[in-house]
Amino acid sequence: MKYALVTGASSGIGKSICVKLASDLGYHVLVNYLHNQEEAHDTVKQVEAKGGTAEIMQFDVTSFSDTEKKLNAWAEKNKQAVIEVLVNNAGLVKDGLFMFMDAASWSEVIDVKLKGFYNVTRCVIQKMILNKHGRIINIASLAGLSGNAGQVNYAAANGGLIAATKALAKEIGKKNVTVNAVAPGFINTEMTDKLDYEKFVKIIPANRFGTAEEVADMVSFLASPKASYITGAVININGGIY
């Protein structure tokens, strides 16, 4: 059995990625979540509805000890298993003008995206390298490339993730482990529900928001053998906003 781990997988893009990895590539998906157990179970149900298999795995990506404990416990029960695909999807938005931003809003957004990347990747990368096969796919954002007023914290977190993607790709490329980032623009998810659609759609050449499934399609491709010569890349899914 092949295994993939998706963080922040109880909703939105993460949920769609789980379904795609299972249905397109036959991965048994580890569905990470922190708070919303009901939605995490729904992700498993959606995977199973497409003929795939999945299980939930609760841990806090911002805590190395919690992440390590849960992943080690799973590995102990599945001694022959190797997580071949890791999708660092967990993210958080706490928007506001920088001059009014409190320290918690800064730290929490950075911690989920960047500490989360370190904590989870650090716990699974060794087996990927020893196995000489792996796919690490980081879900970043348009904000990390172009910046976005009112999202200095979110832009900083995703800009850092993009830089880390490129650096890590250079470190482990010889081990047949690829590291890539996907940078979505405006996608129809819970994160964008409160946005003024008519206002923002005017700046998108494609004249619409994207879908979580479109992002998941790219992740599925990057996880597949077809993408074995792609590493250190940042792939934009933004309807033409540059």
pLDDT confidence bin for 191, thresholds 50/70/90? low
Q: Which residues pair with 54 in a beta bridge?
A: 29
pLDDT confidence bin for 196, thresholds 50/70/90? low
pLDDT confidence bin for 202, thresholds 50/70/90? confident
Residue 1 confidence (pLDDT) above 90: no
Query: For position 199, what pLDDT does the model report?
Result: 74
For the question of residue 118 being annotated catalytic, the response is no
Q: How much of the chain, in percent, has pLDDT values that exceed 70?
A: 96
Residue 198 confidence (pLDDT) above 80: no
What's the CA gap between 136 and 181, in Å, rounded?
A: 8
Secondary structure (3-state) at 184: strand
Query: For position 229, what pLDDT does the model report?
Result: 97
What value does the mean pLDDT take over residues 76-94? 93
Q: Residue 82 in contact with residue 132, Cβ under 8 Å?
A: no
Parallel/antiparallel/unpaired status of strands 234-237 and 177-184:
parallel
Query: For position 58, what pLDDT does the model report?
Result: 97
Query: For position 148, what pLDDT does the model report?
Result: 85
What value does the mean pLDDT take over residues 195-207? 78
What value does the mean pLDDT take over residues 149-178? 96
Q: Residue 3 in contact with residue 84, Cβ under 8 Å?
A: yes
Residue 194 confidence (pLDDT) above 70: no
Query: For position 79, what pLDDT does the model report?
Result: 86
Query: For position 188, what pLDDT does the model report?
Result: 81
pLDDT confidence bin for 195, thresholds 50/70/90? low
Q: Residue 181 in contact with residue 162, Cβ under 8 Å?
A: yes
- Give the residue among 222, 215, 212 at the shortest CA–CA distance from 236: 215
Active-site entry in 3, 154, 197, 242 = 154
pTM of the model as a whole: 0.94
